Amino acid sequence: MTPPSLRRDAARNRDRIVAVARDLVDEGTPLQLNDVARRTGLGVGTVYRHFSTAEALMETLAEPCLEALAAHGEQALTETDPWRALESFLHHVVEAQVSDASLPAVTAAPTDTLPHTAELKRFLRSAGTTLLDRARAAEVVRPGLTPADLVPLMCGIAYAVQVHSGPTVDRVATAHRYLTALLEGLRAYRPSSAKP
Amino acid sequence: MTPPSLRRDAARNRDRIVAVARDLVDEGTPLQLNDVARRTGLGVGTVYRHFSTAEALMETLAEPCLEALAAHGEQALTETDPWRALESFLHHVVEAQVSDASLPAVTAAPTDTLPHTAELKRFLRSAGTTLLDRARAAEVVRPGLTPADLVPLMCGIAYAVQVHSGPTVDRVATAHRYLTALLEGLRAYRPSSAKP
Amino acid sequence: MTPPSLRRDAARNRDRIVAVARDLVDEGTPLQLNDVARRTGLGVGTVYRHFSTAEALMETLAEPCLEALAAHGEQALTETDPWRALESFLHHVVEAQVSDASLPAVTAAPTDTLPHTAELKRFLRSAGTTLLDRARAAEVVRPGLTPADLVPLMCGIAYAVQVHSGPTVDRVATAHRYLTALLEGLRAYRPSSAKP
Amino acid sequence: MTPPSLRRDAARNRDRIVAVARDLVDEGTPLQLNDVARRTGLGVGTVYRHFSTAEALMETLAEPCLEALAAHGEQALTETDPWRALESFLHHVVEAQVSDASLPAVTAAPTDTLPHTAELKRFLRSAGTTLLDRARAAEVVRPGLTPADLVPLMCGIAYAVQVHSGPTVDRVATAHRYLTALLEGLRAYRPSSAKP
DNA sequence: CATGAATGAGCCTTCATTCAT
DNA sequence: AATGAATGAAGGCTCATTCAT
Write out pLDDT tens, residues A52-93.
Answer: 999 999 999 999 999 999 999 999 999 999 999 999 999 999
- Does residue A2 carry a pLDDT above 60? no
pLDDT tens figures, C17-66: 999 999 999 999 999 999 999 999 999 999 999 999 999 999 999 999 99
Residue A141 in contact with residue B185, Cβ under 8 Å?
A: no
pLDDT-based confidence at C2, cuts 50/70/90?
low
Which of C153, C177, C184 has its CB closest to that of D160?
A: C153
Nearest CA in chain C to D184: C185
Q: Which residues of D touch C108 (CB under 8 A)?
A: 163
CA distance D46 to D36: 10
CA C82: distance to chain centroid? Answer: 22
User: Bridge-partner residues for D141, per DSSP?
Assistant: D187
pLDDT tens figures, A167-184: 889 999 999 999 999 998
Q: In Å, what is the CA distance from C171 to each residue of A36, A69, C161, D156?
A: 51, 71, 6, 14
- Which of the following CATH numbers is that of domain C8-50: 1.10.3470, 1.10.760, 1.10.10, 2.70.98? 1.10.10
CA of residue B119 to C1' of nucleotide E9, angstroms:
39
Sign of CA dihedral D144, D149, D150, D154: negative
Side-chain-side CA neighbours of D12 within 13 Å: the count stands at 5
Three-state SS at D141: strand
CA distance B25 to B36: 11
- Does residue D194 carry a pLDDT above 50? no
CA distance B123 to B115: 12
Which of A108, A163, A192 has its CB closest to that of B156?
A: A163
Contact A178 B184 (CB under 8 A): no
pLDDT tens figures, D16-59: 999 999 999 999 999 999 999 999 999 999 999 999 999 999 99
Count other C-beta atoms under 10 Å from residue B78's C-beta.
Answer: 7
Residue A162 in contact with residue A172, Cβ under 8 Å?
A: no
pLDDT of residue D143: 87
Return the residue in A87, A97, A163, A189 with the most chain B beta carbons within 10 A, the one to mutate for interface testing. Answer: A163
Chain A within 8 Å of B1 (Cβ-Cβ)?
no
Higher-confidence residue: A75 or B143? A75
pLDDT-based confidence at B168, cuts 50/70/90?
confident
Largest distance between two CA atoms of chain D: 69
pLDDT of residue C188: 66
Arithmetic mean of pLDDT over chain A? 91
pLDDT-based confidence at C3, cuts 50/70/90?
low
Higher-confidence residue: A29 or B195? A29
pLDDT of residue A67: 98
CA distance A143 to A146: 8
What CATH number was assigned to the domain covering residues C61-194?
A: 1.10.357.10
Count other C-beta atoms under 10 Å from residue D137's C-beta.
Answer: 10
CA distance C103 to C112: 13
pLDDT tens figures, D129-172: 999 999 999 999 988 889 999 999 999 999 999 999 888 889 99
Three-state SS at D187: strand
CA-wise closest residue to D116 among D128, D124, D108: D124
CA distance D150 to D155: 9
Which of C148, C149, C156 has its CB closest to that of D156?
A: C156
Residue A94 in contact with residue A154, Cβ under 8 Å?
A: yes
Residue D124 in contact with residue D69, Cβ under 8 Å?
A: yes
Chain B within 8 Å of A89 (Cβ-Cβ)?
no
CA of residue B159 to C1' of nucleotide E19, angstroms:
41
CA distance B130 to B90: 13
pLDDT tens figures, C92-137: 999 999 999 999 999 999 999 999 999 999 999 999 999 999 999 9
User: Which nucleotides of chain E does any protein CB come within 7 A of?
Assistant: 1-21
CATH 3.30.1370.60 fits A59-190, yes or no: no
CA distance D83 to D88: 8
Query: What distance, in Å, lies between the first and last C-alpha atoms of chain B?
Result: 52
In sequence order, which ranges of chain B are alpha helices (DSSP H)?
8-26, 33-40, 44-50, 54-78, 82-99, 102-108, 115-137, 147-164, 171-186, 191-194
Three-state SS at A10: helix
The counts of H helices and E strands in chain C are: 10, 0
Mean pLDDT computed over A94-116: 96
User: Bridge-partner residues for B141, per DSSP?
Assistant: B187
DSSP secondary structure string, C28-39?
T----HHHHHHH
What CATH number was assigned to the domain covering residues B59-189?
A: 1.10.357.10
| Domain definitions of chain A by residue range | 8-50, 59-190
CA distance A182 to C36: 59
Arithmetic mean of pLDDT over chain C? 91
Residue C58 in contact with residue C100, Cβ under 8 Å?
A: no
Count other C-beta atoms under 10 Å from residue B105's C-beta.
Answer: 17
Neighbours of chain A (3+ CB pairs under 8 A): B
CA distance C107 to chain D (A): 9
Largest distance between two CA atoms of chain C: 69
Mean pLDDT computed over A101-121: 96
In percent, the amount of chain B with pLDDT more than 90 equals 84
What CATH number was assigned to the domain covering residues D60-189?
A: 1.10.357.10
Higher-confidence residue: D103 or B8? D103
Nearest CA in chain C to D176: C144
CA distance A21 to A64: 14
Residue D60 neighbours by CB under 8 Å, 6+ apart: D1, D18, D21, D51, D114
